[in-house]
């Protein structure tokens, strides 16, 4: 095959898609999420050690988190805990989620490259939209995908599958960017490449164990990593 033929068979950038996680990838949501968790459990009569490391709660579906935390107290009121969390988080905690330094420029550059940008988060879509609206990033995304208002549909494999189908995106022309193993697993379940964001909450060991196709130390390296992974995926697709 000639070089010209190779170039002509490559997908145009407007055919390529970048899926971005929210918590731990775009925004530093630790304080807002953890604070709402503590207040929700306190409402149900449980107080956790404020010094306890709860970083692990950022990323998994909300019902799973609450079931695990309440289980430590022998409490099965998961639905009530979820509702109390939403009350505190949506009542103000969600705004305690500043953008990571450098991520706005990275997202702007990705959008300017002509690629399609989508949000893929386990958060309910309406909550995620409020966060991005407040940070001025919403206009850069073609679409936002997340959990339903009742928090169902938050599992990343199913969420990403639905996004790809609805937007008519070929897996080999897309890449997922996230900071947790759930993001990597969700992408791989859909035959997509995945980039691990080391500035988030998962950490190198978790992302390497999950099989991330690339790791990026800081947002200023994200655009290059996306370009490299999309090129490699198209070449082997």
| The domain defined by 30-95 carries CATH number 3.40.50.10470 | no
Homologous superfamily (CATH) for 3-28+98-236: HAD superfamily/HAD-like (3.40.50.1000)
Boundaries of every domain in the chain = 3-28+98-236, 30-95
Catalytic residue among 21, 23, 179, 213: 21
Sort 92 into a burial class: Cβ within 10 Å, 0-12 / 13-18 / 19+.
Answer: exposed
* Most distant pair of Cα atoms in the chain: their distance: 70
Q: Which helix (H) or strand (E) holds 197?
A: strand 193-197
220 is catalytic: no
CA contacts within 13 A on the Cβ side of 236: 9
pTM: 0.87
Sort 51 into a burial class: Cβ within 10 Å, 0-12 / 13-18 / 19+.
Answer: exposed
Pairing of strands 116-124, 143-147: parallel
Count the helix, strand and coil residues of the chain and give each as a percent rounded to the nearest 5: 55, 15, 30
Give per-residue pLDDT as tens, 175-199.
Answer: 999 999 999 999 999 999 999 999 9
Give me the tens of pLDDT residue by residue for the chain, a chain 237 residues long.
334 334 334 566 678 999 999 999 999 999 999 999 999 999 999 999 988 999 888 878 889 999 999 999 999 999 999 999 999 998 988 889 999 999 999 999 999 999 999 999 999 999 999 999 999 999 999 999 998 888 788 899 999 999 999 999 999 999 999 999 999 999 999 999 999 999 999 999 999 999 999 999 999 999 999 999 999 988 876
Number of Cβ within 10 Å of residue 102's Cβ equals 14
Find the helix packing angle between 62-71 and 30-43, rounded to 10°: 50
Q: Tell me the two tokens of residue 34.
A: 């953890």
Angstrom CA distances, 24 to 53, 99, 191, stand at: 15, 9, 23
Fold match between domain 3-28+98-236 and domain 30-95: no
Strand order across the 143-147 sheet: 143-147, 116-124, 17-20, 174-178, 193-197, 214-216
How large is the C-alpha radius of gyration of the chain? 18
Q: What is the DSSP letter of 11?
A: P
Q: Tell me the two tokens of residue 61.
A: 């579906």
- Rounded Cα gap, residues 46 and 17, in angstroms: 43
Task: Please report which residue ranges of 100-142 form alpha helices under DSSP H.
Answer: 103-112, 125-135
């Amino acid at each position: 095959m000639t070089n010209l033929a190779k170039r002509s068979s490559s997908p145009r950038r407007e055919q390529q898609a970048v899926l971005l996680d929210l918590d731990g990838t775009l925004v530093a949501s630790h304080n807002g999420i953890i604070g709402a968790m503590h207040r929700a459990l306190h409402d149900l009569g449980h107080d956790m050690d404020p010094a306890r490391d709860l970083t692990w709660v950022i990323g998994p579906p909300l019902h799973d988190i609450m079931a695990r935390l309440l289980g430590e107290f022998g409490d099965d009121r998961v639905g009530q805990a979820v509702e109390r969390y939403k009350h505190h988080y949506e009542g103000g905690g969600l705004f305690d989620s500043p953008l990571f330094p450098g991520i706005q420029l990275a997202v702007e550059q990705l959008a300017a490259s002509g690629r399609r940008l989508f949000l893929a988060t386990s958060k309910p879509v309406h909550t995620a939209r409020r966060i991005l609206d407040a940070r001025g990033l919403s206009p850069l995304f073609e679409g936002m995908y997340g959990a339903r208002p009742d928090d169902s549909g938050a599992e990343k494999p199913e969420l990403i599958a639905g996004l790809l189908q609805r937007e008519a995106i070929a897996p080999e022309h897309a890449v997922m960017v996230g900071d947790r193993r759930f993001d990597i697993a969700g992408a791989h379940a859909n035959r997509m490449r995945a980039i691990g964001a080391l500035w988030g909450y998962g950490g190198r060991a978790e992302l390497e164990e999950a099989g991330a196709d690339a790791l990026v130390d800081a947002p200023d390296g994200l655009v290059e990593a996306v370009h490299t992974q999309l090129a490699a995926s198209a070449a082997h697709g």
